[in-house]
Structure 1
């Protein structure tokens, strides 16, 4: 396969998902929209890189490194970095300077690069150092809870912690879930009914905007098409 990947949940309240992947002979992929941000490490031709990648509000074409191995920590809604406002990262990112085989620079400090199995150790260190903070109310609201706050105050807190509005988060996560269901063989009409789309055209527009695929393309993938970036159902894996 040109792209091999797997992912796991986490028992950390700050982490939504930990993933790793490997590409072989792939120079372009479809990067699907995501409502979360992540810390990514990748080895390209023996050189290690590190970057923070923000939420992506639309599907886009992305160049890849051909043959490379990558690893990432996807952070839960409500987790943010005071020194790097997430609003500046939406549909973009920021690379780390002075990356070695074992360390990377963040907030002017050197940190040990973790691996797939011990990512939470790095997260715990970043939390203790104040590099990462968490707004539990934002996580609760995004998961469907009701907040004891006025709508404007809540909107400001969600935007500050995620870089997005609640509506945009819901749209992106619903499209991702629809893509997972269609890929599993669920009929488009059933996806419309299950996820609350108005009709099939509404589903089609959402898929095109956030996933870059039609329902048919998701149910019957074209082996010649650019591969999709990592796709999984947007849920709370620590509690699934």
Structure 2
């Protein structure tokens, strides 16, 4: 499938046969092709922007992932803390346990910025702090989220020219370049269904 760009960290668990594996995927700055072996079950947990693994520098996982090797059929050990493997019903509880254990942390300044607040710091300091917390600049995050919003609108039948105008693209070629970079497909592909399966392209 096409793994689209995302500003968020993702916890991914997958099972092939009876063996489970689990990894943390950092932000992705461009669309890539992700293998989907047959008879494999996947579960992804998309963390809120500004949330990351406490012991890993964010820049190390931009466009990369880290797999946790200590996995049994029922649990995974992450930085010394044993957690149950998540499923669709327990995902939020697993995230709460990871937060209580200090395995994942959320930067409060990122949350304040997303709520429209104005931290008491210079613009340069805020930008540097945002980059340190998320691995990405605020501008790149906005580009990724705008491309995702455009794709959702196009898939629902919204006119491509109207989407480009409403979301602030200069013109349709500008929209096309953005979709190609961040989603790996053109607006026409999205409209006709030729884009196939795209990761994380749904309303949350």
TM-score normalized with structure 1 length: 0.80
8 Å contact from structure 2 (residues 8, 50) kept in 1? no
Helix, strand or coil for the counterpart of 1:168? helix
Query: In the alignment, which of 207, 210, 216 is matched to residue 188 of structure 2?
Result: 216
Answering whether residue 30 of structure 2 is matched by residue 58 of structure 1, we say yes
Distance 1:117 1:148 in 2: 40
Distance 2:106 2:73 in 1: 29
1:23 corresponds to which residue?
none
Range that drifts further, 116-125 or 208-217: 116-125
- Shift of residue 226, structure 1, vs aligned partner: 4.8
2:101 corresponds to which residue?
129
Distance 1:182 1:126 in 2: 36
Answering whether residue 171 of structure 2 is matched by residue 199 of structure 1, we say yes
Helix, strand or coil for the counterpart of 2:70? coil
Q: How does 1:86-97 map to 2 (within 5 A)?
A: 86-97=58-69
2:154 corresponds to which residue?
182
Answering whether residue 142 of structure 2 is matched by residue 170 of structure 1, we say yes
Answering whether residue 112 of structure 2 is matched by residue 140 of structure 1, we say yes
- Shift of residue 209, structure 1, vs aligned partner: 0.4
8 Å contact from structure 1 (residues 102, 112) kept in 2? yes
8 Å contact from structure 1 (residues 76, 139) kept in 2? no
Helix, strand or coil for the counterpart of 1:140? helix
Answering whether residue 56 of structure 2 is matched by residue 84 of structure 1, we say yes
2:12 corresponds to which residue?
40
- Shift of residue 182, structure 1, vs aligned partner: 0.4
Q: How does 1:98-109 map to 2 (within 5 A)?
A: 98-109=70-81
- Shift of residue 67, structure 1, vs aligned partner: 1.9
TM-score normalized with structure 2 length: 0.93
> Runs ≥4 in structure 1, deviation > 4 angstroms?
none
- Shift of residue 143, structure 1, vs aligned partner: 5.0
Distance 1:226 1:219 in 2: 11
Answering whether residue 199 of structure 2 is matched by residue 229 of structure 1, we say yes
The structure whose residues are more often strand, as a share, is 1
Deviations 1:83-139 (A, max 9, x none): 112211111100011211111121133211122122222222222211122122202
Distance 2:52 2:198 in 1: 26
Distance 1:180 1:226 in 2: 14
Deviations 1:163-211 (A, max 9, x none): 1100110000000000000000111111011111111111010000001
Distance 1:192 1:148 in 2: 34
Query: In the alignment, which of 110, 117, 127 is matched to residue 89 of structure 2?
Result: 117
The structure whose residues are more often helix, as a share, is 2
Distance 1:185 1:61 in 2: 25
